[in-house]
Structure 1
Amino acid sequence: MRAQWAARMSGPGPALTAVLILSAVLAGCTRAPEPGPAERWAPRPGADWQWQLSGRLDPTVDVPVYDIDGFEHDASAVADLHRRGRKVICYVSTGAWEDFRPDAARFPASVRGRGNGWPGERWLDIRRTDVLEPLMDARMEMCARKGFDAVEPDNMDGYRNRTGFPLTATDQLRYNRLVARIAHRHGLAVGLKNDLDQIPQLEPDFDFAVNEQCAQYDECAALTPFIEADKAVFHVEYEVPVARFCPQSKKLRLSSLRKKYELGAWRRSCTSGPSDN
């Protein structure tokens, strides 16, 4: 294209003009830069939170952070939480197919593997980024369009499970970093969900962490790289009483809750004390 423009010019003046025009055209065709870290929400250690993925949303829990289902709630619910002074995290699954989601038919059968233990869910072949990247981009765009501040991508450790695919640790690192880039592309902060073994490699790519049951399995110290980087760790236990895990959570500066498996409104917090909502 540059040669075609040059061939039409008879002197140095028009040639220079053509180069400037071409540069402007090419600049307009490039993708806008991703929002930098300073432009994204950056949750800090110790922030109290509420995680509710089922039941009617209760927006009255007096905490600075909410984590709710991205598909189940519209922009008005997010705006209401914002008016109440909350930052809002968008829960979506990035590593498993869910037959109950409105975009389920867009996932070809070839990327659906074994069930992951939850009804209607199957592990995804995360090696197939040609298929999954546009699908995950659409989900992140949905979160951004609704006004969420961040995203919690779930099922980020398929390589450690029987997925039906020969996934490796390298496959998981590549895919998790892709998920982080997609979220950042849409101006969203992004959390690393579980995947404790890869925290040393992945912490720089993520803005916070979300963990389930590290106290039950004596793994909470593995989350220290996030705390040392001044990034929040949102942690939940289901079976261990708060009296047993809260002292260690406070020492490690984790944002810890006791929840029931259905993840309704009920919670017990190590930060703000008991709360039945």
Structure 2
Amino acid sequence: MPSPRPSASPSPSAEGRWRPRPGLAWQWQLDGRVDPSVDVPVYDIDGFENSAADVARLHRAGRKVICYVNVGAWEDFRPDRDAFPASVLGRSNGWEGERWLDIRRLSVLRPIMASRFDMCRDKGFDAVEPDLMEGYANDTGFPLTGADQLRYNRMIAELAHERGLSVGLKNDLAQIPRLVRHFDFAVNEECAEFDECEALTPFVAAGKAVFHVEYAEPNSAFCADSRRLGLSSMRKKLALGVWRAPC
């Protein structure tokens, strides 16, 4: 008899927010407006590029929906780009139109990120995927430390939880032991390629989903380990369109 499909329903909690469990299949589409045709219980989509109607359509199909928001870099193509003062903009992060943020400036960035998370809440999203949460490990143009990153990432989690949204820790593997209790799930890129997937086990041990993608590795190289570790894994193309090859 096949094992039951993992449920995407909220787990009971004092806060009442969604608590995704290990093993949930997911779709990650950041390229344009969402295509709702993939039959999985969780969608992770761009918060700016998709409307409340898009989120509602996914909800009607029984899906939970995660709101992708960049919290670590300024993007010149976002409608709130002028809210960021020049003093918090650092070096390019390698993506066109993006520059690292000075995450030490909590008083400046907190209201901007709060407004973005308000957008996610008001559109009906269930959760937030905050991107670029490990600036301290990159050449940002600012002397960021691990302590700076911990303060900022905890602030991001707090902002999400204040709005009833669950929140994922994106990458930042080195700080998982100090952050796992603040986050409801993890999102990871390429832990198999770099032989780092074991670092994500604290989330699974805590009953929290790990949504994982590889770009270069074939499924045959990582799916067996992903199943052993309890990760929700698939291969995607770097553009993060509709195509996916799940484990």
Sort the TM-score into its range (normalised by shorter chain).
over 0.9
Aligned positions of 1:162-201 closer than 5 A: 162-201=139-178
Gaps of 5+ in 1: 1-35, 271-277
User: Quick one: which amino acid aligns to residue 176 of structure 2?
Assistant: I
2:170 is the alignment partner of 1:203 = no
Corresponding position of 1:234: 211
For residues 48-76 of structure 1, the C-alpha deviation after alignment (integer angstroms, 9 at most, x for no partner) is 00000004421011100000000000100
For residues 86-108 of structure 1, the C-alpha deviation after alignment (integer angstroms, 9 at most, x for no partner) is 00000000111000000001100
Aligned partner (choices 203, 222, 225) of residue 245 of structure 1: 222
Deviation beyond 2 Å, 4+ runs, structure 1? none
Aligned partner (choices 19, 37, 57) of residue 60 of structure 1: 37
User: Quick one: which amino acid aligns to residue 234 of structure 2?
Assistant: L
Q: Does the C-alpha gap of structure 1 residues 225 and 37 become closer, same or farther in structure 2, counting only changes over 3 Å? A: farther
Distance in 2, matches of 1:92 and 1:224, equals: 24
Aligned partner (choices 115, 135, 138) of residue 92 of structure 2: 115
Q: TM-score, normalised by structure 1?
A: 0.84
Identity of aligned residues (%): 68
Gaps of 5+ in 2: 1-12
For residues 156-189 of structure 1, the C-alpha deviation after alignment (integer angstroms, 9 at most, x for no partner) is 0000000000000000000000000000000000
Distance in 2, matches of 1:212 and 1:70, equals: 19
Aligned positions of 1:1-277 closer than 5 A: 37-270=14-247
Corresponding position of 1:8: none
Bigger radius of gyration, 1 or 2? 1
SS in 1 for 2:110: helix
CA contact (8 A) 2:47 2:120 kept: yes
SS in 1 for 2:158: helix
User: Quick one: which amino acid aligns to residue 157 of structure 1?
Assistant: E
Distance in 2, matches of 1:79 and 1:267, equals: 23
SS in 2 for 1:137: helix
Distance in 2, matches of 1:234 and 1:172, equals: 21
Distance in 1, matches of 2:234 and 2:121, equals: 26
Distance in 1, matches of 2:15 and 2:140, equals: 37
Distance in 2, matches of 1:157 and 1:247, equals: 28
For residues 206-247 of structure 1, the C-alpha deviation after alignment (integer angstroms, 9 at most, x for no partner) is 000000000000000000000000000000000000011100
CA contact (8 A) 1:42 1:189 kept: yes
Distance in 1, matches of 2:47 and 2:84, equals: 18
CA contact (8 A) 1:55 1:265 kept: no
Distance in 2, matches of 1:53 and 1:162, equals: 25
How many residues matched?
235
1:37 offset after TM fit, Å?
A: 4.8
SS in 2 for 1:132: helix
Distance in 2, matches of 1:158 and 1:128, equals: 13
Distance in 2, matches of 1:143 and 1:156, equals: 18
RMSD value, Cα: 0.8
Distance in 1, matches of 2:92 and 2:164, equals: 32
